[in-house]
Amino acid sequence: MESVLDKLSNKLDIAFMNSPIESASIRPKVLIKVLIAAAIFMGTVQFLAWFIANHPDSRWRLVAAAAPIAAFGLCAAAAWSSLEGMDERAVRMHLEALAFAFVASLVFLMTYSFLALAGAVTLKFELIAPVMVTFWVLGLGIGLWRYR
Amino acid sequence: MKNRLRILRAERDWSQQELAERLRVSRQTVNSIENGRYDPTLPLAFRIARVFGQPIESIFDDGA
């Protein structure tokens, strides 16, 4: 039986295929998977922070601390699965976008860390993933323009 | 890299979508190659050559 998620994804896929941004080749179904995985990761991190703050003596502290790693693995697998089924140009665009996101995030975070030393508000580590995703999307935009 | 993809496609009266399906790539990829924005990999270049029944060097020109 088709799940609600599948139904929604298929509808979005049809709308997406008729849209001018189809050339990005990011199927909404995959995007939804990535967003769900990212939400699980963020949720796990929030739970971890709450758990450690409220159960400082629990023997499950170490297990809880490792939970985000599994969630991050899920996130990475969902992102990587987005490359399946794409043609070579789309794969190239995505890999270039990932490379761009990696370097841009590194530069951004290192620069911001110096600003923090000078008194700027300290960046929470939970924001690193959204920063990378933002640069990834920006990198895809650059790829779309480059291979238009 | 310059190529004759658009000319060869027009000679056969194929749409970009039709050619894309024959090459098993997206229409946008065909468009990018035709506009010279994207250079195909060797396997795709071979597929293009087979689809048009011509040698690769008669379709693509690297200007050398």
Higher pLDDT among residues B57 and A27, named by residue: B57
Count of beta carbons in the 10 Å neighbourhood of residue A115: 12
Count of beta carbons in the 10 Å neighbourhood of residue A71: 20
pLDDT at A44: 84
Would you place residue B8 in the very low, low, confident or very high pLDDT band (cuts 50, 70, 90)? very high
Would you place residue A6 in the very low, low, confident or very high pLDDT band (cuts 50, 70, 90)? low
For A69-124, what is each residue's pLDDT tens digit?
A: 887 788 778 777 777 778 889 889 989 999 999 999 999 988 888 888 888 788 77
Q: Is the pLDDT of residue A18 over 70?
A: no
Tell me, yes or no, if A90 comes closer than 8 A to chain B by beta carbon: yes
* B9 Cβ contact partners less than 8 Å away, ≥ 6 residues apart: B16, B19, B30, B34
Both structure tokens of A23: 């050339």
pLDDT, mean over chain B: 91
The predicted complex's ipTM stands at 0.83
As a whole number of angstroms, the distance between CA B27 and CA B18 comes to 8
Are A88 and B24 inside 8 Å of each other by CB? no
Nearest by Cα to A42 from A8, A71, A78: A71
Q: Which residues of B touch A23 (CB under 8 A)?
A: 26, 28, 31
Most B CBs within 10 Å: which of A18, A19, A89, A91, as the mutation test of the B interface?
A89
Q: What percent of chain A has pLDDT over 90?
A: 16
Q: Is the pLDDT of residue A23 over 70?
A: no
CA distance to partner chain B, nearest, from residue A22 (Å): 8
Count of beta carbons in the 10 Å neighbourhood of residue A132: 18
Inter-residue contact A91 to A83 (CB < 8 Å): yes
CA A16 from centroid of its chain's CA atoms:
20
As a whole number of angstroms, the distance between CA A68 and CA A16 comes to 32
> Does the predicted model carry a pTM greater than 0.80?
no
Would you place residue A17 in the very low, low, confident or very high pLDDT band (cuts 50, 70, 90)? very low
